[in-house]
Structure formats: structure tokens, C-alpha cells
Amino acid sequence: PAPKVSRPPRPAPPATTPEQAAVGGEALAGAGLVVPPGSPAPPAVTATTWLVADLDTGEVLGACGAHVPGTPASTQKLLLAATMLSRLDPKHVAVATRADLDIEPGSSAVGLLVGGRYSVETLWLGLLLQSGNDAANMLARLGAGSAQAGVAEMNEQARRLGAGQTHAVTPSGLDGPGQFTSAYDLALIARACFADAAFRRYALTERTQIPAQPALKKGGFQIQNENQLIYRYPGALGGKTGFTELARHSYVGAAQRDGRRLVVTLLGAEARPVRGWQQGAQLLDWAFRLPRDASVGRLVEPGERDAEAAEPRQAAAAEPRRTASPPWRGPAGTALHRIGDGDWRVIVPVAGLLALTVGGVAAVLAARRGRSRRRGRRRA
């Protein structure tokens, strides 16, 4: 059991629709534990939700509350990486602004300086090793023009990846109203990150040097990777730690063993009796012991959910329109209706026919009146 801790009131998460809960398979729709039939029980962890999946095949090997919404903390920085890594030249050098350093006092930071000049690669290392919220703001700005524009791009990327329960409010993962994710969504985002060679290199970097700023008369300094998995777990590929008072401990970690690459995600954990990365390591150990064909669901592919949503619209567009048959009016009724619509192809012949008819009737009446007068004169 997790120790009792004081924490801010948890915000009410958005309602999870049945469609969202079933993404990846019906077995993942519940809030409880789901493991392959006949598999050993997973280790007890304090995380409220978790998931383990195969990075290469996308098969989900086990989960607990895969689609239960949770608060991401700094694991949200993975979504920033998945969104901006391909957009930014790692050798580009940019100047830090005061807005980049506008972060919550006491929160994690690399130590960027207003007016300091930093390469994009240095910023990525500061983000992933030191969980720098200042680096997150600067990367979001460089990738989209402003931090808030970067957040909008992150949400669009989450949608494209199929992470429909993820909504970012800050680029760093600092708590914000309406900011949520799920263990399943984090696995989708992590899979996209680990597909990038630059991310894999950054995530395994143990330490780096933040450059000196001669113009500001400030020296350089070294930072170390806070993810203990890379030092203590054989085959570790890296990952991301996270913590806020609201979110508690969140964690994403990946490792390879015997030709398999697995990723673990967990939310809402406590650091006692074991820390978040250790809980992730225990779940990885359990999953590596499962047969290679073990599965309780799968990670959807990027764009897959968009394609599924488009299929009904395309089918509706392709279906021929059915027009209602006009009511039966008979020949005369149809002619009158067309005359009312101004159809000259009907009006001209009908008018001529009426003129002939009226003329004929008038001639007959005139002839009858002439005969009547002649008969009247004879009688007189």
C-alpha cells in the first residue's frame, strides 16, 4: 500500500467515452488489472495506473487502468519531444528570453539565463536529463513561435498519434487546468519518441555540459541524467521521470533484452516503499518473462484513428443521393404544373391550342346567331 500523503484536490477528469476506453482492444477498457491468461501476477506497485507494451510490435503485455485519466507531470515532456524533435535543427543556436524562464518557482530547471545562447541539442539534453521547464518553454517557442502555440501543436500531435485522452496545457507538464493523459496514451507517445534516433541518444546520455555565457559573465556547469534506470537496469534505453504535488510520481522507461524492446508507463505513484523508476523496472522484469506472443491489446499506429474516423464520412459521401419521385398528376396536371414553372416549351403550344379552340367556339356561335336571324325574318 502507498503511504498517505497530503496532496491538492484532484481535478475532475473529462469523461471517458466507450470508444476511447476500447482503443487498443476491449480488454483494456476496464479500470482494473488485465494480464494475459495463465501469466504470473505482476508485482505490486503504488502507481494508480500502468501499462507495459512492446515498442516494436505494439502489443500490450499487461495494464492496470490503461485508459483511466491521470496527471502527467514531466512525462509530458515526451509529447513535446515527439512534436518538435523533427522540426528543429540540433545545431541551431537561439537566445533565451525572459518568457522562457517564466516557470513555477522551485520547479525543475536547467538554469538557462536571459540573453544566454544555447544550441537546440543543449536544450534537448537539458529537457531530458534535468527535466528543465525553462528548456521546455524555449523548445516550444522555437518550434512553433510561442510556448502556447507549441502546446497547440503538441495537442495536434497527440491526436495524430491516437492519444485521444491527452490534453496538454503547458509544454513542461507543470500542472494546469484540464491537463490529463493516460498510461495508454503515454505508451503511444513514448513509442513515437523511441522511434527517433536523436531521442534515443539524448535519453541515454549520462551527463552533459551547459556552456558558459561570456557575454553575461557566467561560467558553464555540468548536469546529470536523473533517470536512474540508465545506470542500474541492464539494457536500459532511457525514459522520463515526473513529479508534482498534484500528479505525484509518473514514469516512462524502456529497455531491451533478448531482442525485445519494452516500454513501461505509470502514473500516480508514491516514492515509498520504492521509487517510480524501480516500480517501472519491476514491471519490465515481469513483462520480459512473458511469452513473446502474450498480449492483452495493442498500441494503435499513428494516423490509424483518424483513418477510422474518416471512413464513415467517405462512405456517406460515396452513397448516391436518393431523390423523391414527383407525385402523380396525370398528363393535364403535369402540363399545368410545368406552365406554372414557366416552361415555354409547354406554354406556347398550349396557348396556340387554346387560341384555336376559342376561335373555333366563337365561329360556331356566330354561325348559330346568323341562322337564328334568318329564321326570324321569315316568320315576320
User: Which residues are annotated as catalytic?
Assistant: 74, 77, 131
CA–chain centroid gap for 313, Å, is 19
How far is residue 263's CA from residue 265's CA, in Å, rounded to a whole number? Answer: 7
Helix axes 147-161 and 77-84, enclosed angle (nearest 10): 90
* Cell of residue 140, nine digits: 516550444
Give the CA dihedral 224, 228, 232, 237, nearest 10 degrees.
Answer: -90
How far is residue 134's CA from residue 170's CA, in Å, rounded to a whole number? Answer: 11
CB-based contacts of 356: which residues, under 8 Å, 6+ apart?
Answer: none
Question: Are 135 and 126 a contacting pair, CB within 8 Å?
Answer: yes
How far is residue 61's CA from residue 286's CA, in Å, rounded to a whole number? Answer: 10
How far is residue 77's CA from residue 133's CA, in Å, rounded to a whole number? Answer: 9
Question: Judging by beta carbons within 10 Å of its beta carbon (0-12, 13-18, 19+), is residue 251 exposed, middle or buried?
Answer: buried
Question: Are 166 and 180 a contacting pair, CB within 8 Å?
Answer: yes
DSSP string, 59-88: EEEEEESTT--B--GGGGHHHHHHHHTTTS
CB-based contacts of 289: which residues, under 8 Å, 6+ apart?
Answer: 40
